[in-house]
Structure 1
Amino acid sequence: MQLASSGSEPTVSLQSDAKVMGLVGLAHASSHFSHLLLPLMFPIFIRDFGWSYSELGLLTTLFFVVSGVGQASAGFVVDRLGARPVLFSSLVLFTLACLLASVAEGYAALMAVAMLAGLGNAPFHPVDFTILNQRVSSPRLGYAFSVHGLSGNLGWAVAPVFFTVTGALWGWRQAFVAAAGLYGLVLLVLVLNRSVLKTEPSARAQGDAGVANDLAFMRLPVVWWCFAFFLLSTVTLAVVQNFSVPILKALHGVSLELASMTLTAYMLCGAVGMLIGGFVAARWPRWSDRVVAACMAGAAVLMALCASGLFGQMGTLWVLAATGFAIGVGGPSRDLMIKKATPKGATGRVYGLVYSGLDVGFALSPVFFGALMDRGLYQATLLGAALVLLFSVVAALGVGKRTAVPA
């Protein structure tokens, strides 16, 4: 099977492309699953250890600081060594993090879990997009990005169900052991299909000229506009992931189970949106920035409506789920928008830097919004998240302005 470059005509069958998409999607789902390893246990940690939301939010911040720094660096490693060995190493780190969490007795141990899992999470976007851009035929990339985003949302959606069920059956420590087994199974599947995941390292000049070429992409303003978009849009997502359950309980008096189901519904609606967004991205690739801006603006309005409580208890739960759908529709167009801003031969480096904005957003959000939560400012937390999402609209349009093809 020939590698399919981003600018070539299709040289592989749909079946071959679909296999690549499926394997990369499985890997991406495992990455998103790791984002919730600790946040889903926050209510239990508060009960058993008496920690505050700010202290627990710091664990999430630590995870994404390590992931962000690692992601920006991982792009260089992926470009030089190829994506496959880096991917396998990440899954080993996830397994170790889960096993450590299962025996953790204090805050220091959980900090170590956050660092291990963050390091494992770091390479996924440069790994995934390097594989997709090299192994999937160019006309099918819109669909590949759709599958990639959809699988990530499914990873988020599965995590609450997985830990709720395994925790109820065996306890929270055994739930982490089960998660370690799940990561081991994913690693086995990818190793058995390793030939499908092979990528070619980028050509690189030697000496000082090589270093300069490696870093040249950082001088492009559009790369930093992409970084800003990911940072801003992720701040809102982090609020939903970390605090939507206690916010729904406090504002509307819903049970822990119903609030957790709403978070799962948000992720599932986001996955459905990703699926539809793949067709949108394939149909209007030139307008990817405008599609993203429209979706983010719509989601910001919906989140503000959630904060208002205008629709009552059950209505608010449905509106929050619809917010996930709006963001999901823009996902494939977002990835296409980043691809248009990526210089040839720098996929790993650009995606590593740009997607580290996602980690920065995840790291900053719990610190600021956790402080609001500790003061009982639940509505202000949702309204602040909606406002930040509106700022991401400006960043998306800024990217589009700098990648527009003259008529």
Structure 2
Amino acid sequence: MTNSSIIAPSAEPSALSQAPQTRRRTLALAGLAHALHDGYTDAIYVLLPVWRAEFGLDYVALALLRGLYAGAMAALQVPASWLADRVGGRAVLILGTALAAAGYALAGFSGGAMGLYAALLVSGAGSSVQHPIASSAVSRAYGSAARGPLGTYNFSGDLGKAIIPAALSFGLSIAPWRPSLWLLALAGIAVAVLLTLLMPRIEAPPPPATSGRATLQRGGTGFPLLLAIGVIDTGVRMGFLTFLPFLLQLKGASQPLIGTALALVFLGGAAGKLACGWLAQRWGVVGVTLCTEGLTAVMIVLAAVLPLLPLLIILPLLGLTLNGTSSVLYGTVPELSPADRTERAFAIFYTGVIGSGALSPLLFGAVGDQAGPVVATLGTAAAALVNLPLALALGPRLAKR
């Protein structure tokens, strides 16, 4: 296959001339990288109490630890895509995975807050490469049929968020935190080795001249809308999850029950990420987005007003709608970007949604401070409704199905 044969995903799926096992291997290894890096991101939550006890850190210092990791990961998404253009996406993905693992190893040697800050900056910088490069690898491997596989890739990140923090928690119950981090770093090195040995070559982007004119036009007008929907969707999700424990507490939930309730939301969310990417491939982006965003608003309102037991019953469905839109949006990024700029488009998109996830709890938190958690929760429902007209406006800019 020549580079000139690779065109935008909305055109003929030339990538599907690859052997099916090669495509599946690309998806499996991209999903493994996603699981590892997302697991690394959420493992910090498990470690914060440990570090507070070990080093006597206050809450501001602990928040800064998480913020430095997330900030490095968000800020370096676009530079990672530039680097991939120059040295190849496969090499950058392998090096980034090794760097993320090295950051956790360094954290295990830290003797105080400054060492942890430096280690998490290193690990966050390494994790910045995964989203744009692994996403574009799946997109190029599957061509116009990539929407469903990208949903599977998106789902794999939730698996990592569930498995790695749980494994770390178990490790901390039987071993000190430093050896636990070194084992976690070894797991990252093992993934980097697997990527080195097994990851198929990521197809190089075609020259700009081979990217279809129609795709450039759609990308020029549709991508900002897609990004806006993604930013709002992520803001709604993170804002709601910030207040859900307080809603449950107001309804009389105990601390263990709050943990169970959150698990129900996350399980539903994982199912939504897996299912909605495939549903969008069959039923269309606009229809599925309207359903998930509209149902999200309805379910959030119900969460605010229902008693505790009915709320617990609907939480898995709420999680499904709350997370399902993300797979629809990720799968649409290649369609709204020129084929030679897929990594760049994913990088910009992930920068926007990660930034929204960091800032939206502050915005809705200010509302909560003034009006209470119920009003702030209803505010997230209102924000979800903003995406309905945006999704309708996006429709004409998408390829006809």
What is the TM-score of this pair, normalised by structure 2?
A: 0.82
Question: Which residue of the partner structure matches residue 125 of structure 1?
Answer: 131
1:157 is matched with which residue: 155, 162, 167?
Answer: 162
Question: Which residue of the partner structure matches residue 203 of structure 2?
Answer: 199
The 5-angstrom pairing of residues 187-336 of structure 1 reads 187-194=192-199, 196-203=200-207, 220-239=220-239, 248=248, 252-255=252-255, 258-284=257-283, 287-308=284-305, 310-312=306-308, 314-336=309-331
Q: Comparing 216-225 with 196-205, which one deviates more in the overlay? A: 216-225
Calculate the aligned-residue CA RMSD, in Å.
Answer: 3.5
Question: Which residue of the partner structure matches residue 208 of structure 1?
Answer: none
Instruction: Name the CA shift for 1:156/1:70 in 2 (closer, same or farther; >3 Å).
Output: same
Structure 2: where are the runs of 5+ without partners? 210-215
Q: Which amino acid aligns with 1:228?
A: A
Contact 1:236/1:385 (CA < 8 Å) preserved in 2?
yes
Instruction: Name the CA shift for 1:370/1:204 in 2 (closer, same or farther; >3 Å).
Output: same
> Take 1:243 and 1:365, find their aligned partners in 2: how far apart are those partners?
12
Contact 2:103/2:123 (CA < 8 Å) preserved in 1?
yes
- How far does residue 127 in structure 1 lie from its aligned partner after superposition? 0.4
2:153 is matched with which residue: 129, 143, 148?
Answer: 148
SS in structure 2 of the partner of residue 232 of structure 1: helix
1:355 is matched with which residue: 336, 341, 350?
Answer: 350
- How far does residue 38 in structure 1 lie from its aligned partner after superposition? 1.9
- How far does residue 302 in structure 1 lie from its aligned partner after superposition? 2.0
Q: Which amino acid aligns with 1:102?
A: G
Instruction: Name the CA shift for 1:177/1:228 in 2 (closer, same or farther; >3 Å).
Output: same
Question: What is the CA deviation profile of residues 176-224 of structure 1, one whole-angstrom value per residue up to 9, with x for unaligned ones?
Answer: 3332222122222212203x1433254369xxxxxxxxxx999924322
SS in structure 2 of the partner of residue 198 of structure 1: coil
Question: Which residue of the partner structure matches residue 51 of structure 1?
Answer: 58
- How far does residue 341 in structure 1 lie from its aligned partner after superposition? 1.2
Q: Which amino acid aligns with 1:150?
A: F
Question: Which residue of the partner structure matches residue 211 of structure 1?
Answer: none
Instruction: Name the CA shift for 1:39/1:289 in 2 (closer, same or farther; >3 Å).
Output: farther
- How far does residue 58 in structure 1 lie from its aligned partner after superposition? 4.2
Question: Which residue of the partner structure matches residue 29 of structure 1?
Answer: 35
2:175 is matched with which residue: 161, 170, 174?
Answer: 170
Instruction: Name the CA shift for 1:192/1:150 in 2 (closer, same or farther; >3 Å).
Output: same
> Take 2:75 and 2:217, find their aligned partners in 1: how far apart are those partners?
17
SS in structure 1 of the partner of residue 354 of structure 2: helix
Q: Which amino acid aligns with 1:283?
A: R
> Take 2:178 and 2:364, find their aligned partners in 1: how far apart are those partners?
28
- How far does residue 87 in structure 1 lie from its aligned partner after superposition? 0.5
2:332 is matched with which residue: 311, 331, 337?
Answer: 337
Question: What is the CA deviation profile of residues 308-335 of structure 1, one whole-angstrom value per residue up to 9, with x for unaligned ones?
Answer: 4x231x5434433322212344344222
Question: Which residue of the partner structure matches residue 209 of structure 1?
Answer: none
Identity over the aligned pairs, expressed in percent? Answer: 24
The 5-angstrom pairing of residues 31-110 of structure 1 reads 31-44=37-50, 49=56, 51-52=58-59, 56-110=62-116
- How far does residue 15 in structure 1 lie from its aligned partner after superposition? 3.0
Question: Which residue of the partner structure matches residue 213 of structure 1?
Answer: none
Question: Which residue of the partner structure matches residue 400 of structure 1?
Answer: 395
Question: Which residue of the partner structure matches residue 213 of structure 2?
Answer: none
SS in structure 2 of the partner of residue 200 of structure 1: coil
- How far does residue 122 in structure 1 lie from its aligned partner after superposition? 1.6
- How far does residue 88 in structure 1 lie from its aligned partner after superposition? 0.9
SS in structure 2 of the partner of residue 349 of structure 1: helix
Contact 2:269/2:324 (CA < 8 Å) preserved in 1?
yes
> Take 1:259 and 1:283, find their aligned partners in 2: how far apart are those partners?
36
> Take 1:386 and 1:282, find their aligned partners in 2: how far apart are those partners?
26
